[in-house]
Chains A and B, each alone.
Chain A
Amino acid sequence: MSEQLDAGLIDEQIAESGRLGEPTDAREVGRARRRKEDARLVTGRTTWTDNIQLPGMLHVAFLRSPMAHARITRVDASAARAQPGVVAVYTGADFAGEQGSLPCAWPVTEDIVIPDHPPMAVSEVRYAGEAVACVVATDRYKAADALEAIEVDYEPLDAVIDMTEALAEGSPKVHEAGNRAFTWKFAGGDIDAAFRDAPVVIDRTYVQQRLIPTAMEPRAVVATTDGDDFTLYSSTQIPHVLRVMLALTTGIPEHKLRVVAPDVGGGFGSKLQVTAEEVLGLLITRRLGRPVKWTESRSEGNLTVHHGRDQLQRISLAADRDGRIRGVRVDLLADMGAYLMLVTPGIPILGAFMYSGIYKVDAYDFTCTGVFTTKMPTDAYRGAGRPEATFAIERAVDELADELGLDPVEVRRRNWITHEEFPYETVCGLTYDSGNYEAATEKALALFGYDKLRAEQADRRERRDPVQLGIGVSTYTEMCGLAPSRVLGSLSYGAGGWEHATVRMLPTGKVEVVTGTSPHGQGHETAWSQIVADALGVPFGDIAVLHGDTAVSHKGMDTYGSRSLVVGGVAVLAACEKVKDKARRLAAHMLEASPDDIEFAGGSFTVRGTAEGRTIQELALATFAAHDLPDGVEPGLDADATFDPDNFSFPHGTHLCAIEVDTETGKPTIRSYVAVDDVGSVVNPLIVEGQVHGGIAQGIAQALFEEAVHDAEGNLLTTTMADYLIPSAADLPGFTTGRTETPATSNPLGVKGVGEAGTIASTPAVVNAIVDALRPYGVRDVRMPCTPERIWRVISEAGPAAPVPGRATVPASGPAPAPVSGQTPAPMSAPASEGGAR
């Protein structure tokens, strides 16, 4: 740790930056640099959107529908308008001619139904929490008071919260056009051949429960205007995309609209959106000519931040008796909620490419039906489609192992793509560029002590211990680095996947980096500085990274889908290369040498074979003075670059979880958790570790704790953090993490992306462990979240109270078993026992 910056010495970076012209000797990339961002965050000197106070600012509060589905027959706001401090009250009708439909940028099929989606409901509400009216007042307390004085008459309509019911004949219609938004199909190989006469068929249905992303910072919006210029501050992940979309939605010309994402307190996909509140903030400030602020409460946020997951997955595997998977068939229902938001329909489609996981599969068949229900819309949530896909295949592979009496790791070995086989074209149409599943798995098994834990498990089964031990494995890959623009085009996505960066040397030799990515906890200021420090040979402390303001960073595609480093970081590197090219020409001119004879090292350009040279800082000053530039060379040492990758990147890894399940109470306790991830080359191991940890916690939370629960009328029952349980430090174990490094071949940094890996891998690892613990009881599935009550119920319902001594499993590294006889189990057409709150 001694090589790092001492913690907390703010002045150290300043001191370091005083070394003008001094080359750095240590490579920055790969170093566990403490973060630049921390200084303002640990001292409270942040600019969260809700911290912004502008002169004359007013506060907006929304009246939200208490019903999931109703016709609005009357809204009377007169009493509210008369209250002290109230400046205006607006209903949906007041903005009817002005509020454009909230955009959906991903029409996945030609016949997709995209319903009109007004920011404030005008005649009908379709989910509990939909905005019906808003108050603008001099402070947030007065605004909240006035909401209570607005009278709304609702004529209740039937709610429909279950996707299967929504598709049934005679179901209440969410929209006139019906409840089917789209059907999207994809296939590869001969699926009928794969299933024809397959000796083993595993057929399961899994429930991806609805989740609430729950970034710690509630969403907030500040909108202000100065004549016909507008500025919107928003706690958003996507200031650039938001600006384009808001210009199209509100009619404010794009060049008159500046969008700023100040410090943003987490996103996890939930701030990848064009929201009603952002649109209305602009419309209200346009009407009133005064700045307005809206900050959601947590209970408001749980209702109206878009939700994640909510899929019903039927997955079938056709396999041979030796465990070789022939084909995968997936029939997916994806709950869209009441409307399609920015990328709602695309989320399950992203998953479509990942159902073959790390395996060599001959044939694949995928059908997804997007379904409207009277619930808050779904959209991107950490991993976005890929956790769902990985969960289904990793659960199903465990079921296959159980059916064949094989160790789950052994079944994976028999099917996975071996490291010599890369690049590998999958049946899902992707080309995995690189990977080494063997290495990651071996390392994980060793860290975990797999064989020892299996022995303990056998012992506990033998002893009929009331506390059973379960071991869960999850071997995953994901597609990161969204994305090659042409691929997004082929999937009807409304934008590209490139990223932009500017690198500019300042006259005094410092460096400003402008990035199109928009961080919210990922440490871009630190990681991008490391990349630039190495590329230009300037000190880490001499580099500032600017982001999240469309007036500063004029183009970008923002931060989501683990794309920032893989696309945005590479764009930064590309801009550095352009700067260096120009600097080389300048150096050649100043040193009276041919550019071909100029060498670059440690921030200095020298004539080959001589000591004569110029530092990059001296060159920056020379271009500022511009007294002696070569013909045709413009002053300034700066460059723009965009990077559009040729391919996705494919992080992978193996996660192992050991869980003790108290079979008398149903309580699961994670005993150990090991993750070995391969995220390619690593820029900052500290940041990678942090991202992996956070991801694991979020995935465990889906497995054990979290669920957005609605009652039959469509009311959300989990509106607060008391009802929607996100885990605390006391609910989680320590994690053991390790890495293997197989560089990506699709970008010059060799990086793969890390933000979603932990979340994708951990959910199936945990549920596999719980089911593994309970197999002697005849349990084959536990529906998520696996609460003690649900676990207790499945044990009770599965049959005998005492465990049956466990089947023999073959050790992971052991010999192949004799073929088993026995029947293919009856398909499980319904999810496992309900229990819980529903």
Chain B
Amino acid sequence: MPRITVTVDGVTYEEEVEPRLLLVHLLRDRLGRTGTPIGCDTSNCGACTVMLDGRSAKSCSVLAVQADGSDVVTVEGLAQGNEWHPMQKAFHTEHALQCGYCTPGMIMAAIDLLRDDPDPSEEAVRRGLEGNLCRCTGYCTIVRAVRRGAAEMSKAREPQEVPAP
């Protein structure tokens, strides 16, 4: 069986895996990282979205062996201690979740979306999240949350104002 090395939420694991094992099953069943759920088997729903080397990937569509040497960040790795990621806060503030099953994937996809477009319009958010399905919210609050998260993140990136001499 192939032996792989993968870093998940900052912890490095060395695992022997069957070649057919899906990354999402490695995360959930082998490593106990159950924060990433599975919603379908055709990569349509996006519930299992994680960051794979910095870009979002549907972990049901990646083999564990393909993740060899990679850095994986799941929803469980986003918060810094008790301080949530701005996107997690934004989802909470805007009531962008109900049952919450799609939420981890939605948050990961949203963060990736902002890498390409740090200030997306409503339309851009809707297009950008097309690969993530939610059955509870009707998406309006998710769109609001992503835009709020974007604003908070760009605020955090702004250089500190230096007082005039």
Contacts and interface: CB of A to CB of B under 8 A. Distances in A.
Interface of A: 1, 4, 6-11, 34-35, 37-46, 48, 50-51, 53, 139-141, 214-218, 263-266, 268, 297-299, 520-523, 686-687, 689-691, 693-698, 720-722, 726, 728-730, 732, 734-735, 758
A34 B47 contact: no
A145 B76 CA distance: 31
A157 B74 CA distance: 49
B97 A42 contact: yes
Interface string B12-36: 0000001011000100110011111
B35 A726 contact: no
A446 to B, nearest CB: 20
B41 A298 contact: yes
B149 to A, nearest CB: 10
Contacts of B38: 50, 218
Interface string B74-111: 11101100111000111111010111111110010000
B134 interface: yes
A686 B141 CA distance: 10
7 contacts: A42-B92, A50-B38, A216-B133, A217-B99, A297-B40, A522-B98, A721-B45
Given A42-B107, A46-B100, A729-B125, A694 B136 contact: yes
B160 interface: no
A10 B89 CA distance: 10
B72 interface: no
Contacts of B28: 50-51
A728 B88 contact: no
Contact of A690 (B84, B103, B141): B141
B56 interface: no
B95 A689 contact: yes
Contacts of B39: 216-218, 298
Smallest CB-CB A-B distances: 9 pairs: A44-B35, A41-B100, A265-B101, A521-B99, A8-B89, A693-B138, A697-B138, A8-B84, A721-B44
Nearest to B77: A44
A37 B40 CA distance: 24
B106 to A, nearest CB: 9
A297 B41 contact: yes
Contact of A217 (B91, B95, B101, B107): B101
B6 interface: no
Contact of A298 (B45, B75, B98, B140): B45
B129 interface: yes
B131 interface: yes
Interface string B25-68: 10011001111111111101101000000000000000000000
A728 B130 contact: yes
Contacts of A263: 100
B104 A735 contact: no
Contacts of B36: 44
B135 interface: yes
Contacts of B79: 43
A297 to B, nearest CB: 5
Contacts of A51: 28, 34
B122 interface: yes
Interface string B119-146: 0001001110111111111111111000
Nearest to A382: B135
A7 B90 contact: yes
A726 B126 contact: no
Contact of B135 (A39, A266, A299, A729): A266
Nearest to B88: A42
B98 A523 contact: yes
Contacts of B97: 38, 41-42
Given A215-B135, A218-B39, A265-B101, A730 B93 contact: no
Given A8-B83, A266-B99, A298-B39, 8 more contacts: A6-B89, A8-B88, A43-B35, A217-B99, A693-B139, A694-B136, A721-B40, A726-B133
Contact of A730 (B41, B127, B138): B127
B133 A141 contact: no
B42 A720 contact: yes
A264 B100 CA distance: 9
Given A734-B122, A734-B140, A265 B99 contact: yes
Q: Which of B37, B82, B136, B139 has the most CB of A within 10 A?
A: B136
B103 A687 contact: no
Contacts of B136: 216, 266, 521, 690, 694
B100 A693 contact: no
A42 B95 contact: no
B34 A46 contact: yes
Contacts of A297: 40-41
B95 A728 contact: no
A44 B101 contact: no
B143 A42 contact: no
Contact of B75 (A34, A37, A42, A734): A42
Given A268-B135, A694-B138, A141 B21 contact: yes
B42 A298 contact: yes
A43 B84 contact: yes
B94 to A, nearest CB: 8
A264 to B, nearest CB: 7
Nearest to A720: B42
Contacts of B18: 141
B99 A720 contact: no
Contacts of A298: 39-42, 45
B73 to A, nearest CB: 11
A732 B133 CA distance: 12
A34 B95 CA distance: 7
A214 B135 contact: yes
Q: Which of B36, B39, B47, B98 has the most CB of A within 10 A?
A: B98
A693 B140 contact: yes
Contacts of A215: 99, 101, 135
B76 A45 contact: yes
Contacts of A268: 135
Contacts of B95: 34-35, 686-687, 689-690
A735 B138 contact: yes
Q: Which of A35, A265, A729 has the most CB of B within 10 A?
A: A729
Nearest to A302: B40
Contacts of B138: 693-698, 732, 735, 758
Contacts of A696: 138
B141 A46 contact: no
A44 B89 contact: no
A689 to B, nearest CB: 7
B37 A43 contact: no
B104 A44 contact: yes
B130 A44 contact: no
Contacts of B103: 41-42
Contacts of B25: 140-141
